Amino acid sequence: MSSNTFGRLFRFTTFGESHGSAIGVVVDGCPAGIAFDRELLVRELQRRRPGQSKLTTPRDEPDVPVVLSGVYDDKTTGAPIAVLVYNRDQRSKDYEALKDVFRPSHADYTWWKKYGIRDHRGGGRASARETVGRVIAGAIAKMVLRPLGVRLTSYTRAIGPIQMPDDFTAWSEEDVEQSPVRCPHPKTTEQMVEYIEALRRARDTTGGIIECRIQYLPVGLGEPIYDKFHARLAYAMMSIPSVKGFELGGGFAMTQQKGSEVNDPFEVRGGMIHTRTNYSGGVQGGITNGEDVVFRVAFKPISSIGAAQKTVTTKGQETEIRIEGRHDPCVVVRAHPIVEAMAAVVSCDFLLLHQSSRLRL
């Protein structure tokens, strides 16, 4: 298994399993002298951690980060930054009945066929528990981006069939974080909460859509032809567990519109060139154009449901299972810091690469 590292100049490698002793990450390529904000790191992990509300899995992990290297006197040293988070609330016995069967729509069968072995305890390495390391790497990337004024925000656009009104734009980060489903529209939040609670009672799950916005990136990030900014961004998002779709700017809706309706006219504002609209989502020709990078990520329903399901055993015998254990009824609620983390790492990586795009004497 050789694909546990993401990034080129700013890169990270995650390790650990869902029911192992710890989850961790090594971040390499972080510039020296960056103020290391431990409060930011803890806050991002708390946004992701299980057990944060009745709408998430009751697995209660404190997710306290232990910084092992790469930081001295609250500044990054330029050396690899290693961070460890110990697993405290595993219940491996909940998965004993799944040792010899394949859970529908999980990674059980494919991992077993590929590697000849699998960790049935919560999915092992295939578990979303792995994303703890991504959030840590993303928090460090945010520390690099913050002095440059780059800002990342996200909110829940849809959960199941319930969608936030498209014309509602007057919201803040505080509005998002005050919502138990991270949707800034109060009425939609109520409907989403009711929907998720009903699904939890029925031991079922649902998916949803997160919209993310990267603001104040400079013009010029992206490495055409095969490493365009949005291509790398899509690659990052599609690597997140349960993600099944990605769209930028106007997205799929633009297929039903005319070029005259979705082209972004240029204009000068405040002495700077801008686009009047942003159907391009802040990227043109694979390169950032200075506008907000706006994208959406679609998450499928969690595959671990309590209803009886047909499956087969490792010996090919048909059987029926009911998945026990503690699971999220909707992963979208806890996925925001993961989406933001991967977007921050992509942005940070491209910013460092951009320094080599033109010799400036």
Nearest-Å Rg of the Cα atoms of the chain is 21
Domain assignment present for residue 176? The answer is: yes
Rounded to whole angstroms, the Cα distance separating 308 from 303 reads: 12
Q: How many other C-beta atoms lie within 10 A of the C-beta of residue 84?
A: 20
pLDDT at 361: 55
Q: Is residue 311 part of a domain?
A: yes
| 110 assigned to some structural domain | yes
Question: DSSP string covering 184-218, please?
Answer: S-HHHHHHHHHHHHHHHHTT----EEEEEEEESPP
Query: How far is residue 277's CA from residue 260's CA, in Å, rounded to a whole number?
Result: 12
Spatial distance between the Cα atoms of 205 and 328, rounded to a whole number of angstroms? 8
CA pair distance 131, 126, nearest whole angstrom: 10
pLDDT averaged over every residue in the chain: 92
Q: Which residues contact 340 (CB under 8 A, 6 or more apart)?
A: 44, 138, 142, 152, 153, 154, 212
> Is the entire prediction scored with pTM above 0.85?
yes
In a domain, 359, yes or no: no
pLDDT value of position 178: 94
Is the model's pLDDT at 90 over the cut of 90? Answer: no
- The H or E element that residue 82 is part of is strand 81-86
Q: Which tens digits make up the pLDDT trace of 135-165?
A: 999 999 999 999 999 999 999 999 999 999 9
Let me know if residue 361 belongs to a domain: no
Between 158 and 62, whose confidence is greater?
Answer: 158
User: Do the domain assignments include residue 360?
Assistant: no
Range of the domain at 184: 5-354
CATH number of the domain that 39 lies in? 3.60.150.10
CA–centroid distance for 141 within its chain: 14
CA-CA distance, 13 to 35, in Å (whole number)? Answer: 21
pLDDT, tens digit, 9 for 90 and up, residues 126-136: 888 899 999 99
CA angle, corner 23, sides to 323 and 84, nearest 5? 155
Non-local (6+) Cβ contacts of 354 within 8 A are 218, 220, 221
The structural domain count of the chain equals 1
Write down the pLDDT at residue 85.
Answer: 96
Does some domain include residue 163? yes
SS3 223: strand
What residues have CB less than 8 Å from 210, skipping those under 6 apart?
154, 155, 156, 157, 296, 297, 299, 332, 335, 336, 339
pLDDT of residue 94: 60
Is 267 inside any structural domain?
yes
